[in-house]
Chain A
Amino acid sequence: MNELFSFIVKNSKWFVFTFFVVISCMLLFRDDPYRQHVYITSAGKLASTAYKSANNVTSYFNLHEINEDLNRNNAELQARIAALEENLDALREAAFTDTLVPDSGVPPFSFIVAHVINNSIARPYNYLTVNKGSADGVRPELGVIDRNGVVGIVSNVGTHSARVISLLNPHFRLSCKIKRSDYFGSLVWDGKNPTEAVLEELPRHTVFKVGDTIVTSGYSAVFPPGLPVGVVLDDDTDKNQNFFTLRVRLLADFTTLSNVQVVVNNHADEIRALSAGEENDSKKNPFGN
């Protein structure tokens, strides 16, 4: 017994070393971003407090660009309002002859404005932290957009902060379509460049041109359909493959992210309940007897 004890003391440094290496490896290889405890992410109290105070200073740096983007956005929206008003007038005329059936009273999407307090772009898995949390209505698996396009999806939520899986993270695949032709594929970051991603799994007969806009498909309950994501740069397809792979320039500028909106889908529970029902049904006998 004494010998065992002295052996442990003599080699204690190896035991300590192994212990910490094992803990580190456990943290390292448990890589599902949704299963992590909020305290060991940047949405935890410790990190988010530090980031918030630093952000009080740095948030002023990009105001010029943000302002320009907002002006442009505003102009586009005004043009859309004008077009929609025209449409509305036409519909009003039509309403004399036809009756429009109103949809459900709840607007399908609402938005929570948040501020990015931490952001990374140079790592293989990038995350950002925003200053709104469960107290503000943010929940895991909500989409995050900024004024230019899709930014990411919420993974962990603290009381007043949340960690978002950036689009620059291979854990996040986004269902997208080409705006002009409605062919859809899945957008994922390939780790090379923070301004580009690849759109994969497009059917071989897809029609596209360089410069086509890529928008969200709306097939998931996370993002509304038609949100801009990027612009086609070029074709990156291997000749022998059955699917197209396109390089896409992302519209959201991840190097200067500051104000973002968390997308709340008010019908998400309903959609989820329906698809859960579908899964249950498929487990049962499809003919019900």
Chain B
Amino acid sequence: MTKYAIKYALAFILLIPAQAIVFDHAILFNVAVPLVFLYLIISLPVTVGTNLSTLLGFLAGFFLDVFCDTPGVNALCCTILAFARKPLFHLYVSLDDDLASRSPSSVTMGHAAYMKYMITMVLAYTAMLFTVEAFQFFSFKLLILRIAASSAYTFVVLYALDCLTMRRRDT
């Protein structure tokens, strides 16, 4: 568990600046942004309590806000996502399943369930994020486009990231 905590802290310290410096600038067609830092919330083990995961979600969002000058936007969305993580997870994995303290992945959950879980989390987050941002310029078409494009883009990047880390764990 301590080993996992250290690894998670390291991922936290790396992913937030990486999101701000690299991924936030990898925008496609002016609409799609890859929100790779969501991996921090998606990969949290289900055994982590809701209180702790909400705190971690808030911190991740808050630090990203500091980097991106979007006070409160990511903090609010991350807090809600981290809080809703457990119910969303149990949409696809029933409560009775034997869950090790490992983080959600295609190995622990099964490929199909993990994909669905990841898509739900990403879609929920982009929907919240762009709706909060749309308070300023509301255009329904643009909002839907941004949600769909960013979700797809984020999912592809996260899937690629997952495949890479998975292979390394296997060997």
Which A residues are within 8 Å of any B CB, using their own CB? 12-13, 16-17, 20-21, 23-31, 36, 39-42, 44, 46-47, 50-51, 54, 118, 120, 122-125, 127, 163, 170, 190-194
Contacts and interface: CB of A to CB of B under 8 A. Distances in A.
B33 interface: yes
Identify the 10 closest CB pairs spanning chains A and B, nearest first: A28-B72, A27-B72, A24-B76, A191-B137, A127-B69, A13-B50, A24-B75, A124-B136, A20-B58, A27-B71
Interface in B77-131: 79-80, 83
Nearest to A119: B25
B69 A41 contact: yes
Contacts of A120: 24, 68-69
17 contacts: A13-B49, A16-B55, A21-B80, A28-B73, A28-B132, A30-B71, A31-B71, A36-B71, A42-B67, A50-B17, A51-B20, A51-B21, A51-B67, A120-B24, A122-B27, A170-B136, A191-B136
A105 to B, nearest CB: 39
Interface of chain B, main secondary structure: helix
Contacts of B61: 24
Given A47-B20, A124-B133, A170-B136, A24 B69 contact: no
B2 interface: no
Contact of B66 (A12, A26, A44): A44
Q: Which of A21, A24, A40, A124 has the most CB of B within 10 A?
A: A24
A123 to B, nearest CB: 6
Nearest to B76: A24
Interface in B50-69: 50-51, 54-55, 57-58, 61-63, 65-69
B75 A23 contact: yes
B47 interface: no
Interface size class of B (residues with CB under 8 A): 35 or more
B43 interface: no
B30 interface: yes
Contact of B70 (A23, A118, A125, A193): A125
A21 B76 contact: yes
Contacts of A163: 69
A20 B21 CA distance: 26
B79 A124 contact: no
Contacts of B136: 124-125, 170, 191
B9 to A, nearest CB: 16
B65 A40 contact: yes
Contact of B72 (A26, A47, A50): A26
Given A17-B79, A54-B21, A123-B133, A28 B58 contact: no
B125 to A, nearest CB: 14
A4 B165 CA distance: 46
Nearest to A12: B51
A51 B50 CA distance: 33
A118 B70 CA distance: 13
Given A20-B79, A36-B71, A191-B136, A47 B33 contact: no
Contacts of B50: 13, 16-17
B140 to A, nearest CB: 14
B79 A21 contact: yes
A44 B20 CA distance: 14
Given A16-B55, A20-B58, 18 more contacts: A17-B79, A20-B54, A20-B75, A24-B61, A25-B72, A28-B76, A36-B71, A40-B65, A40-B66, A40-B71, A42-B66, A42-B69, A47-B20, A47-B67, A51-B21, A118-B21, A124-B134, A191-B137
B154 to A, nearest CB: 14
Contacts of A41: 66, 69, 71
A20 to B, nearest CB: 4
Given A17-B54, A47-B67, A122 B33 contact: yes
Contacts of B17: 50, 54
